[in-house]
Amino acid sequence: MELLEGIETRQSWRAFKATPIPKDILRRICRAAANSPSYTNTQPWEVAVVTGKKRTELSKILYDLTDANTPPNPDFPRARDWPPELEKRAREHGAGRFQAAGVARDNEQQRKELQLRNFEFYGAPCAIFLFLDKALGQWSIYDMGLFTQNLILAAHSFGLGSCPQAGLANYPDAVRRCLGIAASKRLLIGISMGYPDPEAAINTYRSQKVAPDAFVRWYS
């Protein structure tokens, strides 16, 4: 796959086939992402690739915590107030997903079911959790974003889909406990990965993108 085509055709997928990902492909993807740029080449990423029984175990833990309405306690809290323009995009995104999934906005039960799909990793056979040391600062979080995108694009080049999910970092203590990760490592995000299910209604949803004219200023 040509690089520009890969960047422009990547999307988040929210339903996957159960087909496992061959381990050598997962290794290849991690190797590609290892080439990401990072602040003074510190390479802060610590990666847990979770498949098989461990995936089932972790999915159940996160699902049950969410189902029980346990208050999330993420290592990286969400912003409280968004600039109005961004908040509008987030609302439109939510509405678009509900519509594609056939969820009525005022149907709490259906909304909860859709939310809970996050913790089934949307059916993906693989979930990847990214950690970084708690001593690190904001540049390292930036590095993690670059790493994530490269991981996702490398996966895309193998016909794999993915969905980065902040929701998977809602209960970091439970994830650390399940995976045997030290308390000094902060959980940034989880990424569901697998072969996309093109038949699933939710996968007909496409997020709307702002055209460059809205965010680029040109100087000469």
Name the residues that contact ligand FMN, by CB under 6 A. 11-12, 14, 93, 118, 163-167, 189, 207
Min. distance of Cβ 49 from ligand FMN in angstroms?
Answer: 19
Q: Label residue 159 left, alpha or beta by phi (over 0 means left) and psi (-120 to 50 means alpha).
A: left
Question: Among residues 167 and 196, whose Cβ is nearest to ligand FMN?
Answer: 167
Question: Among residues 162 and 217, whose Cβ is nearest to ligand FMN?
Answer: 162
The secondary structure of residue 158, as a DSSP letter, is T
Min. distance of Cβ 148 from ligand FMN in angstroms?
Answer: 7
Question: Among residues 34 and 166, whose Cβ is nearest to ligand FMN?
Answer: 166
Question: Among residues 125 and 167, whose Cβ is nearest to ligand FMN?
Answer: 167
Distance CA 47, CA 50 (A): 10
Min. distance of Cβ 9 from ligand FMN in angstroms?
Answer: 10
Min. distance of Cβ 219 from ligand FMN in angstroms?
Answer: 28
Sequence-separated contacts (24+) of 66-71 with Cβ below 8 Å: 66/115, 66/116, 66/118, 66/119, 66/167, 66/170, 67/112, 67/116, 70/171
